Amino acid sequence: MANKSVRYENMPLRQSAILDAAAEAFSRVGYEATSIDYVADQIQATKGSVYYYYRSKGDLFAAVHRRAMEMNLESVAPIAADVALGADQRLRRMAIEHTRLMMEYTSYQRVTVQGVEMHLTGSLTDAQRAEMQRLIVMRDEYEALFCEVIEEGIVAGIFKSVDSHLLVKPLLGALNWTTMWYRRQPGETDMQRLKVAEEIADYVVDGLRQT
């Protein structure tokens, strides 16, 4: 599964490579089958070099999850705040950007889905659970961006009268499903991916419009 490299501005290259390898591993073989040795082997590194930055597999998983949530918030929040656009225009652009992120950073984004499942099944240490709670707060903040725009569209008579907090779950679920079926093709361009994201977003957003 192709995955773009994701870097914090001040993150060492080695640490960034570890995160990329971990995202790919968790996405490809799952949390249980991934080991620190497996991640290290993907980048021809030693196990010790991974432990230098992350104390456990759970900590590494949480770091990948956090980076995915941060990129989502950083990319979508400015669109949600652009009041020069109507609610329907903003929601469409938010959905496009969200879907684009699912396609550009598939490995990272799949981890966000796995992360919630892990939290609910209780397979984390107390410290990791506390971090997961912080990540869930970030997820709730992200969902709230969509809820607020949907509610604005309802008030404006653009969208159907629905419970935005209930609706946002299947809405994002439909967009997130891209991570399950999408596979980057040889020679595929950014514009081709954008067109796919636009078509998916239009399908989802058009279903909310008043008829």
- Is there a domain that residue 97 lies in? yes
- Is residue 110, in this structure, part of any structural domain at all? yes
Look at residue 24 and tell me whether its pLDDT is greater than 80. yes
The reported pTM is 0.89
| 20 lies in some domain | no
Please report, for the domain that includes residue 143, its CATH number. Answer: 1.10.357.10
Residue 44, in any domain of the structure: no
Q: For residue 12, what pLDDT is reported?
A: 85
Number of C-beta neighbours around residue 132 at 10 A: 21
Look at residue 6 in the predicted model and tell me its pLDDT.
Answer: 59
User: Structural domain of residue 121, as residue ranges?
Assistant: 56-206
Contact 144, 136 (CB under 8 A): no
63: in domain: yes
Nearest to 109 by CA among 124, 97, 122: 97
| Number of domains within the chain | 1
**Per-residue confidence at 1, pLDDT binned at 50, 70, 90?**
very low
Is 47 part of any domain?
no
Rounded distance, CA 69 to CA 75, Å? 10
Alpha-carbon distance of 134 to 124, in angstroms, equals 14
- In whole angstroms, give the CA distance from residue 82 to residue 4: 27
Those residues whose C-beta lies under 8 Å from the C-beta of residue 134, and which sit 6 or more positions away, are none
